[in-house]
């Protein structure tokens, strides 16, 4: 259960706050570097923004980590992508449009992922701190984007990045405490972020792998549950309950497989209802549900579900997407256990 993906970013961009984003600077649309159709060159891919295939000014190579496919589509310099996103954010009239350029690839319109996702989120934090140092909401949004990027790779993060995730969660909680004194009532979006920041501390504690850390994780997940219940967030409640059940199973012993199956099934069904079966985070919730089915000796059901999820993920996200690879790995585990 550690590392369960929460709903976040684009899944909720339509509900960010409902408030306008007022920029101190404006940019003409002619100043924004728009995604281009690269000149076909079989020798090497080029950046879809600057149309150059060489290293950028910082000496960094082309990157691609989204759902773009083919030998020449979706490649971009991090520097170009950050400049493009910054220009789009400066034009934004609301928080939705302010955050979106840092979340999705402008070519395939899917989430950035893996290290590119972390790197562009880090650029977003730097941009906000420089351009909007007194804008608490923007500070929270940029830190949250980085936090989600880090947590989706929790299992492969090195110690420094895990520490960065913990620091970001602490900063978010501090900023939201400040917002509670300045903004009444607090927009529900930021209560959800507050709950997720508590959950992050729980997952970081779980990752330590000791009985004591599992007990500390339960405290964080209970704080997550408390906030989620206060705002009536059904998905947040289901996720927190599943996390609590998993953390307790690590030190209480006994057989609570069916409880974990029930919690995981509830979360999966909630995500289907809210986002549909083709959403990245719905697919991930289904993968986790299948793993709990396997742990409860219901391998046939797990195999059937994972086979369905894998076909959907390959079609929607592509065969090389991290979510597709996670589902494929889970299916291999199920087949190996047969």
Give DSSP secondary structure letters for 194-218: HHHHHHHHHHHHHHT-SHHHHHHHH
Q: What is the pLDDT of residue 47?
A: 93
Q: Which residues contact 127 (CB under 8 A, 6 or more apart)?
A: 82, 85, 86, 89, 142
**Tens of pLDDT, residues 27-63:** 333 344 555 544 444 568 999 999 998 888 888 899 9
Q: What is the pLDDT of residues 182-214, one digit of tens each?
A: 877 889 999 999 999 999 999 999 999 999 999
Q: What percent of the chain has pLDDT over 70?
A: 86
Predicted confidence (pLDDT) per residue in 115-161, tens digit: 999 999 999 999 999 999 999 999 999 999 999 999 888 877 888 88
4: pLDDT strictly greater than 60: no
pLDDT on residue 8: 43
| Distances in whole angstroms, Cα of residue 109 to Cα of each of 103, 231, 289, 317, 328 | 9, 30, 27, 11, 23
pLDDT for 43:
61
pLDDT digits (tens, 9 = 90+) for 217-265: 999 999 999 999 999 999 899 899 989 988 998 888 656 778 889 888 9
What pLDDT score does 56 carry? 84
Above 60 in pLDDT, residue 13?
no
6-15, 246-255, 265-274, 318-327: which has the minimum mean pLDDT?
A: 6-15
- Triad 308, 115, 31: Cα angle to 5°: 105
Sorted by where each begins, the domain ranges of the chain are 9-254, 268-338
Tokens 């002619």, residue located: 30
How many helices (H) and strands (E) in the chain? 12, 0
Of the two residues 4 and 221, the one the predictor is more confident about is: 221
CATH topology of domain 9-254: 1.25.40
Q: Which pLDDT does position 194 carry in this prediction?
A: 97
Q: What is the pLDDT of residue 208?
A: 92
Q: Output the pLDDT for position 5.
A: 46
């Amino acid at each position: 259960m550690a590392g369960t993906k929460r709903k976040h970013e684009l899944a909720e961009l339509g509900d960010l706050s409902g408030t306008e984003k007022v920029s101190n600077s404006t940019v003409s649309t002619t100043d924004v570097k728009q995604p281009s159709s690269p000149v076909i060159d079989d020798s090497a891919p080029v950046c879809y923004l600057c149309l150059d295939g060489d290293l950028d000014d910082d000496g960094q190579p082309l990157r691609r980590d989204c759902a773009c496919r083919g030998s020449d589509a979706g490649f971009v310099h991090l520097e170009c992508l950050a400049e493009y996103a910054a220009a789009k954010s400066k034009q934004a009239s609301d928080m939705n449009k302010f955050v979106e350029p840092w979340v999705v690839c402008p070519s395939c319109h899917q989430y950035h992922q893996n290290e590119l996702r972390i790197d562009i989120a880090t650029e977003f934090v730097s941009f906000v701190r420089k351009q909007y140092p007194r804008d608490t909401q923007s500070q929270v949004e940029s830190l949250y984007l980085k936090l989600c990027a880090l947590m989706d790779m929790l299992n492969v993060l090195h110690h420094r990045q895990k520490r960065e995730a913990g620091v970001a969660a602490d900063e978010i909680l501090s900023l939201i405490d400040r917002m509670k004194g300045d903004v009444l009532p607090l927009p529900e979006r930021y209560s959800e972020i507050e709950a997720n920041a508590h959950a992050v501390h729980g997952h970081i504690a779980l990752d330590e792998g000791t009985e004591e850390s599992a007990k500390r994780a339960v405290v964080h997940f209970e704080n997550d549950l408390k906030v989620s219940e206060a705002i009536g967030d059904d998905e947040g409640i289901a996720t927190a309950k599943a996390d609590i059940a998993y953390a307790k199973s690590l030190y209480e012993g006994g057989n609570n497989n069916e409880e974990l199956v029930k919690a995981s099934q509830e979360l999966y069904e909630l995500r289907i209802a809210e986002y549909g079966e083709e959403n990245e985070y719905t697919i991930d919730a289904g993968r986790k549900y299948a793993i709990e089915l396997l742990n409860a000796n219901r391998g046939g059901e797990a195999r059937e579900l994972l086979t369905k999820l894998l076909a959907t993920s390959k079609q929607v996200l592509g065969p090389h997407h991290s979510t597709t690879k996670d589902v494929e790995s889970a299916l291999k585990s199920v087949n190996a256990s047969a």
